[in-house]
Structure 1
Amino acid sequence: MYFKNQIYILFQKILSACNRFPISVLFSVLATLAFILANRLSFPTLEQHQLFIRLGMTFGLGVPISLSAQALCEKVQIKTNKVKTVIFSLLFLLLLSFLIFMLKEITMVTVTRYAALFLAFTLAFTFIPFFFKAPKFELYVIRLFTSFFITYLYSMILFMGVSALLLTINLLFSINISSKAYLDIWLIVVGVFAPAFFLADIPKNHQYLTVNDYPKVISVLLRYILTPLIAAYTLILYIYFGNILLARELPQGVVANLVLWYLMLSTAVLLAISPLKKTSKWTSMFKSYLPKLSLPLLVMMLVSLYIRISAYGFTERRYFALVAGLWLVGIMLYHIFSSRKRGIVIPISLAVIAILSVIGPWSAYSTSISSQNTRFERLLTEHDMLKNGEIQPQKELSVEDRYELSSIIIYFNSNHDLSKLSYLPDGFSLLRDTKDVFGFELQRSRHDHFRQRREYFRIHLSEDELIDINQYQHFGHFTLNIHASSELKLGDFLVTANDKKSELYIYKNEDVIYSKDIGSIAKEIYNQHEGTEVLSLTKMTYSDKNQNTDIKLVFKNIYGFKDEENNSIKVESMEFYIFFSFR
């Protein structure tokens, strides 16, 4: 009977979500279906596979947009089906336009634009019901967050349970269940059941929410865990801030990311604890002092970003970081100087900024393209590589200058299109034409220049011969590289090999009785047999003697490179056997 009641409640929740948000549930189902088809079907081309991914993304974007539209209809109390039909028909046209014009392919630009729009409409769904009156907005958001977290926690448990059942069946009955089935189950659980359960729990009469409805678990998490951690993190950043001021140093580039994510979380916590500010002195102090303490840290972050942008220009990552930093400055100033402190300002302002940052001539993409083109032209002009609007090859460039020019070319090739980079000849190919046009090979890192001028070699000992050790009393095995040196002891005797000097020493009572530069021997072997990887025992053997000892060295492996610029040879590592006897 209990199980039957639970099934009934389950279907009632699904029906409730479908009745209130039918278009949103439909979009969620269509998105899930598109992703399942992309997972299941075999496609002859990547474009056909990406078509289903793009359809899934488009239907997925339709979920928050349709939720926002439904929230607007409820807010202004639109009940006639004709008006709703017009609104949702326009929504379908909007999504179709997005698929055709803004999601032609899956690239960095389309994915980040998609993420920004998804975020903006998700935020819109939360604040539309409170657009003109927002006394209980924070409680409503906490209710949504709690329902979302619980729903997807249950979904994760459901997925793991069903996956365990399939795995058990597969093991016990030798049924070949495709690994794709697990992804299908995950998509169905996350894309169909979870949204339906979550939407069924969204309150209609949010005006009845009170502080007593605040979840105890969230309250404890915020007051006793998150806020103390944020306070400790703030202290650490201030200590670092003090150190760089005393040392008169500029902040490191990593500071921007550390401060940005910390303050984004802090802003969310400020919003969440607003209903609790009167429940304890600590939460009241936290809400009052954190915005003031955040401003110097934001200034430090913006200075760090300014240094990077001045040196290397705008990229989408730096643009988004700068916009987010300026938004945080505005939010913190609002919390400091506003007497009303309406929490709804946070999602409204963030949604507007998210949309503006990815659409229009001021967007991250347009700004970054313009900035990198300006930087590219400046570098070409500085090195006399630009004449009559055409690039002139220049071989005498420093490693840093080659890398800077290469990084701009790689940026356009990876994130946009080479046709958007000024001065490149028509039909320019990254791999084919870089050296002819610029006079040097493309450098993907600051170390590429050194790798490009080096010809690496390796020499191995042929292992099909026996070593004659008849006249020798002792044997040792040495491996030398940049990380290791070796030594062997025998009574009063000590044998050492040091890679830094590439020398072999034999000591008796701390007196050197034999020494040899083994690096020069390895180089001589390479010079005599350049281009050969496997050498015979005779060619890999060096014999020597003095008044104290007889020596035989048999090289097993030699690794190194030849610098083509100055024709020098560097042995990076070697492995050899030593046979010796004392006189």
Structure 2
Amino acid sequence: MNFYKKSASRIMHVSQAIIRYPLSSLCFLILVLLAIVSIHSDGSTIFDIETLAMLIGGIAAFTGQAIYERFFRGNQLIRWGIYIGVILFILLYYWLFLRNYTEINTPTYVRSSALISALVVAYIWIPSIKNKLSFSTSFTTIIKGYFISLLFSIVLEIGILSILTAFSLLIFDLDSRVYFDLTVLIFGLFAPLYFLSYIPLYQINGKGLSEKDKQAILVPKFLEILISYIIMPLLAAYSLILLLYIVSNLGGQFWNNNLLEPLLVSYVIIGFIILFLSERIESKSAVIFNKSFPKILLVIATLQTTASLLKINQFGLTHGRYYVIMFGVFAIISSIIYSFVQNKQNYVPALFVIMSIVSIIPPIDAITVGLNAQINFAEDILRENNMLVDNTIVKNEDISLSDREKVASSIEYLYNTDGVKLVDWLPNNFDIYYEDFENTFGFNHYDYTFTDDSNNQDFDSNTAEYAIVSLNDNETFSVTTENTDQFFYVSINNTEYVSVPEQNVPFDINNDDFILQVLSDDQSFAIKVLNNQNDETINFNLKFLLNDTFEYLPEVQQLPIDDLTFTEENQEGSIKVIVKNLETYADGTYSGKMYVFVSLNN
């Protein structure tokens, strides 16, 4: 009987959450409907942007509800005014940042993630403003509610999926999309409503809480043990490793690579989560952690933020490095607040919300700053190499590998962040993954690949399992085409991911038909000329290129043309091959590009 009472009570709490958060409930319901329509449109992304807008709307709505409950409780006119403000806010956000896209891409993802983070932190922070309720209490309650709702949703999902699977196997075959519909319904509607039903209606100055609400804000014993004796020691050990790495590499390597950059954001977030969760824990380890961690974080964040600022000179500013620097600044200021300012809790979430909102407001937002920085960075490199003249690209095959890497990196960033359309010196419909890049700049997008290994002092050249050779891009050369009957540009590939075992290219000389056959399978690597009877005229076996011709080294070997020119002759004619680039591996796979000149004796 207790089970049924508890179930009924939980359902009642969910229904009360719908009444308490009507606009959020409506947004989540529309989100589910849009997602289901997309699922039944053969996986189409027709409503992805609208679904994202509804997610943001639902979160903004319950944040608005928190404002009403903290400052204007009982005034229904202001409550509905806040809801109207939330609706206008979402419409404005959709109009400015979402309507021009048909699917979620990097700009929409970055901006929306920052906005959602700001709204969630604001939702946690608002109840504690000028209130005896502490931010850590509200934060702990939110964390508990999130994981409880997640656990319940997963259990519900597994249970219903098991029932549907049994029904489908034993009674009637169900459409597979039903399972996705169920997942969307549970995690898009039930989970957020269950989560909201768990959040107490906080009383001003902490008075008058019900028994249910008192239980919600308590720190469970399990959580105390988990944080004090497992998470804190792990985070302390992790911090020690970071400090040892920084101290041991302050002489040079730390400032030249970005190994720590991807770790800083997650380290800051996890560190502050543990700080807030541990503030109400009275164990000795929690007390030591709360006193020491902000100071350790201050050292790490200061050094890494400085290193990230220096890295801008090497590869320019991107939205990723923008957020690394932003989180570094946030960590520095918050660590100082935690270490030296009393009544510090409310300053930290306020700072996070402000910085997150700043990062999505043009023209100082992460995406706009990153795009402008990369455009300017690419233009500077191109001008240094005389490749940008009168706002027009001039091909240059002699550009250094390091500058190729910088140009390729910037153009790839612009392409992935929908910034190519902002660059008037790039051709229309520019596509970095096809031949557009090489046709535009004169060199391949991947020509700089593998160069990083040569700068790694810890890499043992004797362990290299590949040889990569290319024509020297700093050398001008000429090729005599006298007596050449036909020229070919051949691309060969026999790797784990792509394999083109045979290519046949027809051509004619003096009205006689021939075929250039390129074989690049596991057994043979050869270029043949076949006559109109499919008889071999010339057979140039190139397997010697895969054996001991080139030394296995962890770097690109740029060689003069004489070292990459090979010829096969017989009474019928000759084939001359000039290797443009070739990658050979110890496992027998290879790929590359070659110039082929065919001369026949007629």
TM > 0.5 between the two? yes
1:65 to 50, 53, 60: 60
Q: Which amino acid aligns with 1:311?
A: Q
What's the counterpart of residue 334 of structure 2? 331
Distance 2:501 2:544 in 1: 5
The verdict on how the C-alpha distance between 1:273 and 1:573 changes in structure 2, with shifts beyond 3 A counting, is closer
Contact 2:414 2:420 in 1 (8 A): yes
Letter in 1 for 2:290: K
Matching residue within 174, 177, 182 for 1:180 = 177
Amino acid at match of 2:178: A
For structure 1, the 5+ residue unaligned runs are: 44-48, 462-480, 482-521, 543-554, 576-583
Residues 370 and 330 of structure 1, relative CA distance in 2, 3 Å threshold: same
Taking the aligned partners of 2:493 and 2:117, their CA distance within structure 1 comes to 53
Structure 1 residues 169 and 425: CA distance shift in structure 2, 3 A: closer
Identity of aligned residues (%): 22
CA drift at 1:237: 1.7
Query: Aligned partners of 1:404 and 1:125: how far apart in 2?
Result: 42
**Aligned CA distance change for structure 1 residues 531 and 572 (closer, same or farther; 3 Å):** farther
Q: Against the structure 1 CA distance between its residues 400 and 446, is the aligned structure 2 distance closer, same or farther, given a 3 Å change threshold?
A: farther
User: 3-state DSSP class of the match of 1:50?
Assistant: coil
Name the structure 2 match of 1:264.
269
Q: Paired residue for 1:164? A: 162
Q: Quick check: 2:404–2:447 contact (8 Å CA) kept in 1?
A: no
State the Cα distance separating 1:316 from its structure 2 match: 0.9
Q: Does 2:431 correspond to 1:395?
A: no
User: Hey, what's the Cα distance between the residues in 1 that align with 2:490 and 2:336?
Assistant: 56
Counterpart Cα distance in 2 of 1:120 and 1:190 = 21
Q: 2-side partners of 1:558 and 1:439: how far apart?
A: 26
Aligned AA (1:20): R
SS in 2 for 1:456: strand
5 Å-filtered alignment, 1:184-583, equals 184-206=181-203, 207-208=206-207, 213-245=218-250, 250=255, 252-276=257-281, 279-341=282-344, 343-421=345-423, 423-424=425-426, 430=432, 431=434, 433-443=436-446, 446=449, 455-456=491-492, 526=526, 529=528, 566-568=564-566
Deviations 1:430-484 (A, max 9, x none): 54654454333443752699689974378999xxxxxxxxxxxxxxxxxxx9xxx
For the 8 Å contact 1:244–1:251, the answer to whether it is kept is no
> How many residues end up aligned between the 2 structures?
492
Are 1:357 and 1:363, in contact at CA under 8 Å, matched by a contact in 2? yes
Matches of 1:457 and 1:443, distance apart in 2: 15
Match of 1:30 in 2: 30
**1:100 aligns with one of 95, 109, 114:** 95
Contact 1:407–1:443 under 8 Å retained in 2: no
- Change in Cα spacing, 1:332 to 1:250, as seen in structure 2 (3 Å) is same
Aligned CA-pair RMSD = 3.9
Aligned to 1:40: 40
In the alignment, is residue 50 of structure 1 matched against residue 86 of structure 2?
no
Instruction: Using the TM superposition, give the Cα deviation of residue 265 of structure 1 relative to its aligned residue in structure 2, in angstroms.
Output: 0.9
Distance in 2 (alpha carbons) for counterparts of 1:361 and 1:313: 17
Does the CA contact (< 8 Å) of 2:127 and 2:138 recur in 1? no
- Return the alpha-carbon distance in structure 1 between the equivalents of residues 259 and 111 of structure 2: 25
Deviation at 1:425, TM superposition (A): 5.2
Query: Within 2, Cα distance between the matches of 1:420 and 1:134?
Result: 51
Deviation of 1:408 (Å) = 1.9
Seen in structure 2, the aligned counterparts of structure 1 residues 255 and 189 have a Cα distance that, compared at 3 Å, is: same
8 A Cα contact 1:103 1:110, kept in partner: yes
Distance 2:287 2:565 in 1: 71
- CA distance in structure 1 between the aligned counterparts of 2:235 and 2:19, rounded to whole angstroms: 42
Q: Which amino acid aligns with 1:328?
A: A
Letter of the 1:456 partner, please give it. I
Change (3 A) 1:249 1:219: closer
Deviates more, 1:188-197 or 1:352-361: 188-197
Amino acid at match of 2:196: L
Residues in 1 aligned to 2:349 and 2:395: alpha-carbon distance in whole angstroms: 51
Structure 1 range deviating more: 291-300 or 451-460:
451-460
Counterpart contact for 2:375–2:423, Cα < 8 Å? yes
Amino acid at match of 2:80: T
Residue 155 of structure 1 is matched in structure 2 by 153
Offset, 1:392: 2.1
Is the partner of 2:74 in helix, strand or coil? coil
Alpha carbons of structure 1 residues 564 and 157: separation in structure 2 relative to 1, 3 Å: farther
Aligned residue runs from structure 1 range 127-166, under 5 A = 127-133=125-131, 135-166=133-164
Q: From the superposition, tell whether residues 435 and 558 of structure 1 become closer, same or farther in structure 2 (CA, over 3 Å).
A: closer
TM-score under structure 2 normalisation? 0.73
Task: Tell me the SS of whatever aligns to 1:275.
Answer: coil
Deviations along 1:400-440, one digit per CA (max 9) or x if unpaired, are 32232222222212212323125335665654654454333
Contact kept, 8 Å, 2:387 with 2:393, in 1: the verdict is: yes
